[in-house]
Structure 1
Amino acid sequence: MGNKESVKPVKRHFEYHNHLLDDATKEMNEWTGENKVVEIHLFSMFSEVFKHHDLDDAETLFIVGTKETTPSLEAVSSAPVKPWLFSRVFAVLGASFVLLALLFLGFRSNNAVPGMIFIGSLTVPFSLMIMFFEINVFRNISVYQLMAVFLVGGILSLVATMILYSLIPSGNGVSWESALIVGFIEETAKMLVIAFFVNRFHLNYIFNGLLIGAAIGAGFAVFETAGYTGQYGLVTLLMRSWQAIGTHTIWSAIMGAAIILAKDRHEPVTGGNMVAPKFLRFYLLAILLHSGWDWNAPFDVLDILYLQQWALIAIGWLAIFVLINAGLREVRTLQGQRILKNSQLGG
């Protein structure tokens, strides 16, 4: 009896958190236009990471986005996405950083430091960008386009940020008011660049928005981390590297998907789209996530094991999973519309 009674509080605790997760995904999913709970299956989604894949598998994933390699709508997969290549990219970059660190520590070679800063800044954001590249089931963005967005878009977003900082006083960046202004400035700067590339490449799908946003956010993160490391040292690099799993790359991916949700299909992004509820909700979420990250909260408990950061990372990824679900739903809807149209024409 004692064991059964002790299990009940644990069960209730689990059910409470499961209910909380369902409520959160349902609320965010309503922002995308569907009033349903989104089930998140992490082990299933990342199951391919632990399986063997040869070089041909990797090269096949990269050979996309050209006229010959972009699939028709009918050939696009609506099955749950299962990215894996990003983990190999992460392993290569991580191993490169370790080798450079050994070179620095073993031979006291300062020549290794620039490489450590570059590779360390690159590892997590770039790997995340590759993950979003993999899950773009439309396969309509090439590696060349992606790298252009990553490099040029990342730098343009920094330029836009500096312009906005020169126009809007931001304070010290750690009080809640200042953190909110910083979040607004940086996310708005990235949003403007994302919208530019969405129009530049005539993109129309949620997965496209996720990828373009992630690429610009990753570029921003890499250059920002490298800059901060140059100022404050390698400890900053290590801290910002692991934290990059839940910062600029996913915040920008959220905004990229939101831009696609708000705009009319096959039409360019306009100012009117920027005030649409479908965009504003996710845009404000990105700003709040960024602001919460920068805010020096007056609660000591949040400093324990970086609870503040982990909570914000969890919320950000929750939004990403909801948007991935919306992207797959979009594929099924478009394919259904195409089948209906073809049947009507055939009739």
Structure 2
Amino acid sequence: MGAPKQPRSHQTHRFLDDTTKEINEWTGEAKAVEIHPLQMFSEVFDRHTKDDADELFTAGTQATTPPLAEVSDAPVKPWLFSRVLMVLLITFSLLLLLFYAFKNERALPGLLVMGSLTVPFALLIYFFEINVFKNVSILSVLEVFLIGGVASMVATMLLYSLIPTSNGTDIWSALLIGLIEETGKLLIIAWFINHLQLNYIFNGMLIGAAVGAGFAVFETAGYGMDYGLVVLIIRSWQAVGTHTLWSAMVGAAVVFAKDDYRPLTTQTVLRPKFMRFYFMAVALHALWDWHLPLAWLDVFYIHQLVLIGLAWVVIFVLIDSGLREVRTLRQAGIPAEEHIFLPVPKA
């Protein structure tokens, strides 16, 4: 008799462990990462006051940026993003009511804006919260979100004008589109990370997420204007696992590529850590755009849900790597009075 068949739950857990171990090896640690979404989001359902929210939004100033010795390496438990998401959803719902119940077409521009903004902006607040270094202000994040989002679209359009592409949905067209768009965003992400002199994994993820969220908002608004509210709503919920997450990976890749915290160069982008996470973002983007020859994958958006899940697995591994970086900084013996922006050895 053969070995007894393992339960499906055990097989799934083993597959997840193998996947996180492989991705985690890219960051420099050869072990699986335990993923506990319920633990991470446990504070979403706890009661928080307006003062708690105000305190989070004050992060990143000279007075509120903590010294390295006070940066926490405890598991991140963001919650403010859920309040922002709720406010945006209520606003969008009221605009839908205005449009459908009262036949008010003047609500359409608002629907385009809020429908495009809701999920990417809430995700951006998520990445702002988990930046445990608290060294980037909300004003800087908004600047990167708005200017970086549009600038990344400009960079992408320039690349499209230089590289001939088709609008097909075959794998090669999808791969070329993913390569061009992720490279366009990369150029802007790298510029902001160098300009703001940011050196840590959480910083890179935040700046990447800001550029990606801006890109997602403006792109979805365009699709909504062309194809209507149904497409707008579909792209809105799918934004939970697309541009914002892909660009957060690219932002982390930029930090991995920096040489002793010096600005990114054409030589440092050849580092394996950079190439792996950059091409992971490109691959996820390409697989998203590829029209797979398997019709059943389109049922209940299975294709998209699988890619969303995989993108979040990569993000969870990067979060674990970011917390490990904090522990490495502490082990390096950083004095309590040292400021957060001073360079320290990487893991």
TM-score category of the 2 structures, normalised to the smaller one: over 0.9
SS at match of 1:218: helix
2: distance between equivalents of 1:283 and 1:253?
10
Per the alignment, residue 4 of structure 1 pairs with: none
| 1:181 paired to 2:176 | yes
Distance 1:259 1:14 in 2: 36
Q: Find 2:195's aligned residue among 188, 195, 200.
A: 200
Structure 1 contact 22–38 (Cα < 8 Å) conserved: yes
1:45 aligns with 2:54: no
Matched residue, 1:262: 257
Partner of residue 230 from structure 1, selected from 225, 232, 250: 225
TM-score by length of 1: 0.94
- Structure 1, residues 188-226: CA drift from partner, whole Å, max 9, x if none? 000111000000100000000000000000000000000
Deviation at 1:11, TM superposition (A): 5.4
**Contact residue 173 and residue 294 of structure 1 kept, 8 A:** no
Counterpart position of 2:22: 27
Instruction: With the length of structure 2 as denominator, give the TM-score of the two structures.
Output: 0.94
Corresponding residue for residue 345 of structure 1: none
Query: Is 1:219 aligned to 2:214, yes or no?
Result: yes
**Worse-matched range after superposition: 153-162 or 11-20:** 11-20
Q: 2:57 aligns with which of 54, 57, 62?
A: 62
Deviates more, 1:148-157 or 1:103-112: 103-112
Structure 1 residue 106 displacement after superposition: 1.4
Amino acid at match of 2:266: G
Match for residue 5 of structure 1? Answer: none
| C-alpha displacement of 1:267 | 1.1
Q: In 1, Cα distance between the equivalents of 2:260 and 2:196?
A: 13
Distance 1:191 1:173, change over 3 A: farther
- Which of 171, 174, 178 lines up with 2:166 in the alignment? 171
Residues 71-90 of structure 1 correspond to what in structure 2 (within 5 A)?
A: 71-90=66-85
Q: Is the 8 A contact 1:28 1:319 kept in 2?
A: yes
The two structures, once aligned, show a CA RMSD in angstroms of 1.5
Question: Structure 2 residue aligned with 1:245, among 223, 240, 247?
Answer: 240
The whole-number CA distance in structure 2 between the counterparts of 1:173 and 1:254 is 26
What secondary structure, in the 3-state scheme, does the structure 1 residue paired with 2:226 have?
A: helix
Q: Which residue of 2 aligns with 1:289?
A: 284
| AA at the equivalent of 2:256 | L
Structure 1 pair 115–138 and aligned structure 2 pair: CA distance change class (3 A)? same
Matching residue of 1:271: 266
Partner of 2:342: none
* Greater Cα shift, 12-21 or 90-99: 12-21
Which residue number in structure 1 is paired with residue 110 of structure 2? 115
Would you say how many aligned residue pairs link Structure 1 and Structure 2?
A: 335
Secondary structure, counterpart of 1:38 in structure 2: coil
Q: Is the 8 A contact 2:213 2:244 kept in 1?
A: yes
SS at match of 1:338: coil
Distance 1:76 1:227, change over 3 A: same
Aligned match for 1:147, one of 138, 142, 145: 142
Show the counterpart of 1:190: 185
C-alpha displacement of 1:170? 1.5
CA offsets 1:290-337 (integer angstroms, 9 cap, x no match): 000000111112111111101111111110000000000000000110
Alignment-derived partner of residue 91 in structure 2 = 96
Larger relative helix fraction: 1
Superposed CA deviations along residues 95-140 of structure 1, whole A, max 9, x for unmatched, are 0000011011111101101001100100000000000000000000
Equivalent position amino acid for 1:142 in 2: S
**Superposed displacement of residue 266, structure 1:** 2.8
Task: Report which stretch shifted further, 266-275 or 89-98.
Answer: 266-275
Residue aligned with 1:137, SS? coil
Identity over the aligned pairs, expressed in percent?
A: 58
Partner Cα separation in structure 2 for residue 106 and residue 19 of structure 1: 50
Structure 1 unaligned blocks of 5 or more: 1-7, 343-347
Deviation at 1:270, TM superposition (A): 1.2
Residue aligning to 1:16: 11
Mapped to 1, the partners of 2:133 and 2:110 lie a distance apart of 35
Matched, 1:327 2:310: no
- Runs of 4+ that moved beyond 4 A: 8-11, 339-342
| Greater relative CO (CA pairs within 8 A, separation 6+) | 2
Moved more, 265-274 or 18-27: 265-274
Describe the superposition over 1:145-181 as per-residue Cα deviations: whole angstroms up to 9, x where unpaired: 0000000000000000100011111212411110000
